[in-house]
Amino acid sequence: MTESTTLGPREIAARLRQAGQMLRLRGESAYRAGAYETGAEIVEATAEILPELVAGDRLTQLRGIGPSLAAVIADLARTGRSAALDRIMGDLPPGLLEVARLPGMTLRRIQALHDELGIASAADLHGALAAGGVEAVRGFGPATVAKLREALARSPDDGDGPPARRVLVDVLEAAERLVGKLRRTRGVAAAEVVGSVRRAMETVGELNLLCASESPELPLRALVEDAAVAAVEARGGRACRVRLTDGLRVTLAVEPPPRFALALLSSTGSEAHVARLTARAAARGLTLEGLEGVTEADLYGRLGLPFIPPELREDAGELEAADAGDDFADLVTERDVRGMVHCHTVHSDGRHTVAQMAAAAAAMKMEYLTITDHSPAASYAGGLTEDRLRDQWPEIAAAREETGIAVLRGTESDILSDGSLDFPDEVLGALDVVIASVHQRHKLDRAGMTQRIVRAMQHPCFKIWGHALGRLLLRREPIDCDMDRILDTIATSRAAIEVNGSPWRLDLPPEWIRPARRRGIKFVISVDAHSTSELRHLRFGVAMARRGGLRRSDVLNTLPAAEFAAAVRP
Buried b (16+ CB within 10 A) or exposed e, 50-84: bbebbeeeebeebeebeeebbbbbbbbbeebebee
The dihedrals phi and psi of 463, each to the nearest 5 degrees, come to -115, -35
Between 20 and 509, name the residue whose CB sits nearer to Zn ion: 509
Q: Which helix (H) or strand (E) holds 263?
A: helix 260-268
CB of residue 470 to Zn ion, shortest distance in Å: 9
Binding mask 384-423 for Zn ion (x = CB under 5 A): ----------------------------x-----------
DSSP per-residue codes, 65-102:
--HHHHHHHHHHHHHS--HHHHHHHTT--GGGGGGGGS
CB of residue 45 to Zn ion, shortest distance in Å: 18
Subset of 417-456 contacting Zn ion (CB under 5 A): 437
Between 300 and 465, name the residue whose CB sits nearer to Zn ion: 465
CB of residue 148 to Zn ion, shortest distance in Å: 41
Closest listed residue to residue 352, CA positions, set 58, 59, 46: 46
CB of residue 333 to Zn ion, shortest distance in Å: 24
CB of residue 431 to Zn ion, shortest distance in Å: 15
# residues contacting Zn ion (CB under 5 A): 3
CB of residue 483 to Zn ion, shortest distance in Å: 19
Closest listed residue to residue 502, CA positions, set 340, 339, 331, 313: 340
Whole-number Å distance between alpha carbons of 442 and 415: 11
Between 198 and 539, name the residue whose CB sits nearer to Zn ion: 539
Subset of 139-198 contacting Zn ion (CB under 5 A): none
Between 152 and 468, name the residue whose CB sits nearer to Zn ion: 468
Subset of 510-549 contacting Zn ion (CB under 5 A): 528
CA distances 220 to 6, 196, 224, 250, 350, Å, are: 18, 21, 6, 12, 43
Whole-number Å distance between alpha carbons of 380 and 348: 9
Between 192 and 373, name the residue whose CB sits nearer to Zn ion: 373
Closest listed residue to residue 100, CA positions, set 125, 130, 117: 125
Neighbours of 556 (CB within 10 A): 23
CB of residue 386 to Zn ion, shortest distance in Å: 19
Between 311 and 412, name the residue whose CB sits nearer to Zn ion: 412
Whole-number Å distance between alpha carbons of 344 and 410: 10
Q: Is 520 left (phi over 0), alpha (psi -120 to 50) or beta?
A: left
CA distances 85 to 19, 64, 72, 442, 565, Å, are: 7, 18, 7, 43, 52
Between 440 and 451, name the residue whose CB sits nearer to Zn ion: 440
Neighbours of 442 (CB within 10 A): 16
CB of residue 530 to Zn ion, shortest distance in Å: 7
CB of residue 342 to Zn ion, shortest distance in Å: 6
DSSP class of 478: P
Give, rounded to a whole angstrom, the gap between the first and last alpha carbons of the chain: 40
Between 193 and 529, name the residue whose CB sits nearer to Zn ion: 529
Longest dimension (CA), the chain: 75
Whole-number Å distance between alpha carbons of 453 and 485: 10
The dihedrals phi and psi of 136, each to the nearest 5 degrees, come to -85, -10
6 sits near Zn ion (criterion: CB under 5 A): no
Subset of 271-330 contacting Zn ion (CB under 5 A): none
Between 345 and 558, name the residue whose CB sits nearer to Zn ion: 345
Between 215 and 440, name the residue whose CB sits nearer to Zn ion: 440
Contacts of 142 (CB under 8 A, 6+ apart): 135
CB of residue 211 to Zn ion, shortest distance in Å: 40
CA 253, 257, 263: angle at the middle one, nearest 5? 45
Between 165 and 439, name the residue whose CB sits nearer to Zn ion: 439
CB of residue 467 to Zn ion, shortest distance in Å: 6
Binding site for Zn ion (CB under 5 A): 412, 437, 528
